Amino acid sequence: MNTKAFAATSPTSPLGPFAIDRREPTEHDVAIELMYCGVCHSDLHFAKNEWGFTQYPVVPGHEMLGKVTKVGAKVKKFKVGDLAAVGCMVDSCRTCDCCKKGLEQFCVGPGGTVFSYNGADKHSGGITYGGYSERVVCDEAFTLKVPANLDPARASPLLCAGITTYSPLKHWGAGKGKKVGIVGLGGLGHMGVKFAHAMGAHTVLFTTSESKIADGKRLGADEVVISKNPDAVQKHAASFDMILDTVSADHDLNAYLSLLKLDGTMVLVGVPPNAQPVQAFSLIMPRRQLAGSLIGGIAETQEMLDFCGKHNVQCDIEIIKVQQINEAYERMLKSDVKYRFVIDLASLRA
């Protein structure tokens, strides 16, 4: 199926129109006419090859949401007209230990995890293309149900920003009686604040942006700390059970590690292109842990969407046309996002 998309063709070229071919749905596939796609900072890292493994042309976008237009003969979960969503993965081996545990993002079987863009596409033999496009075709096993009470545009960023914060907060036990720090109030961070608050944790936001203090509180933070002020940061020394770091650029991890109490854990989800130095002293006293987390498995992503439906957790977004994507990337680099850009894909069809 001929499909309009937006792609980057080199690290320095702006994204622009690009035509891709989507397969006709096979028996387990769902074809989705995309309505919205959120804009993740990973899309920008990829478009600009900041992690060093981008294959061009890259069609970014892994927060996809739309309406089902066609289903394969064996599809059970979806029918034409349903709302459906696709996140960061479109396939995995499904048989390795990780897949069996519902951790498809860490698949170690043949082919490994197939990410939604820049992944090895077993159908085409080329690479996968993401959601800055009119439609996507995905196996129903990797397609998510969207609760009917959620606004479709505001739900789309749940597919990455939502699950990437929900999963580690749950895994490391954010909840009542716990003090949880969220570093950075961007797409991931604002969902981290909402989830930590919804789970009942005492939630502290660390932001570099004074303009985000009021929003931080509105979104659910009990306290907001300007991270450029070392005294304000150190008032929280050795007091956190968990800190979730969503920052996309160079910053000092040691300052945050010093805020963990005994056996506290700092979880990195942000991926700055450069390595960030860690002092051994930051960890050994008092027995702290530094960890990482990658999105979340398919079952947990569905659980997170259902949690959002039940508790009415939605993303705070700014809707853009696809033609504004390069400008949106520039604003993202200036931390000027409130709090996720979402592409209205009607602009691609126009």
Binding site for ligand NAP (CB under 6 A): 40-42, 45, 160-161, 164, 184-189, 207-209, 212, 246-251, 269-271, 293-295, 332, 335, 337
Peptide bond into 57 cis (omega under 30): yes
Residue 102 binding Zn ion, by CB under 5 A? no
Question: Which one of 3, 92, 116, 203 is in contact with Zn ion (CB under 5 A)?
Answer: 92
Q: Which does 188 bind (CB under 5 to 8 A by kind): ligand NAP, Zn ion, none?
A: ligand NAP
Instruction: Output the residue with the shortest Cβ distance to ligand NAP.
Output: 186
Closer of 112 and 184 to ligand NAP (Cβ): 184
Q: Which does 270 bind (CB under 5 to 8 A by kind): Zn ion, ligand NAP, none?
A: ligand NAP
Residue 93 interacting with Zn ion (CB under 5 A): yes
Instruction: Report which of 162, 165, 132 is spatially closest to residue 43, judged by C-alpha positions.
Output: 132
Distant-in-sequence, close-in-space partners of 238: CB < 8 Å, separation ≥ 6: 258, 259, 260, 261, 262, 286
Distances from the Cα of 219 to the Cα of 171, 212, 336, angstroms: 22, 10, 17
**Per rule CB under 5 A, is residue 302 in the interface with Zn ion?**
no
CB 115 within 8 A of CB 91: no
Question: Which contacts (CB < 8 Å, 24+ apart) does range 288-292 have?
Answer: 288/257, 288/260, 288/262, 288/263, 288/264, 289/260, 289/263, 289/264, 289/265, 290/253, 290/257, 290/265, 290/266, 291/168, 291/172, 291/265, 291/266, 291/267, 292/267, 292/268
Whole-number Å distance between alpha carbons of 324 and 335: 17
Four-residue CA torsion sign, 55, 59, 61, 64? negative
End-to-end CA distance of the chain: 18
Out of 4, 16, 67, 96, name the contact with Zn ion by CB under 5 A.
Answer: 96
Task: Kindly tell me which of 1 and 290 has the beta carbon lying closer to ligand NAP.
Answer: 290
Give min distance, CB of 295 to Zn ion, in A.
Answer: 7
Q: Which does 247 bind (CB under 5 to 8 A by kind): ligand NAP, Zn ion, none?
A: ligand NAP
Strand partners for 16: 7
User: What does 326 interact with, of Zn ion, ligand NAP, none (CB < 5 to 8 A by kind)?
Assistant: none
Cβ distance to Zn ion smaller for residue 101 or 228: 101
User: Considering the complex, what minimum distance in angstroms separates the CB of residue 99 from ligand NAP?
Assistant: 17
Which residue from 99, 127, 163, 242 is in contact with Zn ion, where contact means CB under 5 A? 99
Q: How far is the CB of 67 from Zn ion (least distance, A)?
A: 22
Instruction: With contacts defined by CB under 5 A, name the span among 115-123, 144-152, 160-168, 302-310 that binds Zn ion.
Output: 160-168
DSSP per-residue letters across 298-314? HHHHHHHHHHHHHHT--
Q: Residue 42, interface with Zn ion (CB under 5 A)?
A: yes
Question: Does residue number 85 form part of the binding site for Zn ion (CB under 5 A)?
Answer: no
CB 64 within 8 A of CB 156: yes
Amino acid at 326: N
CB of 268 to ligand NAP, least distance (A): 7
CB closer to Zn ion out of 103 and 224: 103
Residue 93 touches which of ligand NAP, Zn ion, none (Cβ within 5-8 Å per kind):
Zn ion
Residues 10 and 56: beta-carbon distance below 8 Å: yes
- State the residues that interact with Zn ion by CB under 5 A: 40, 42, 92-93, 96, 99, 107, 109, 160
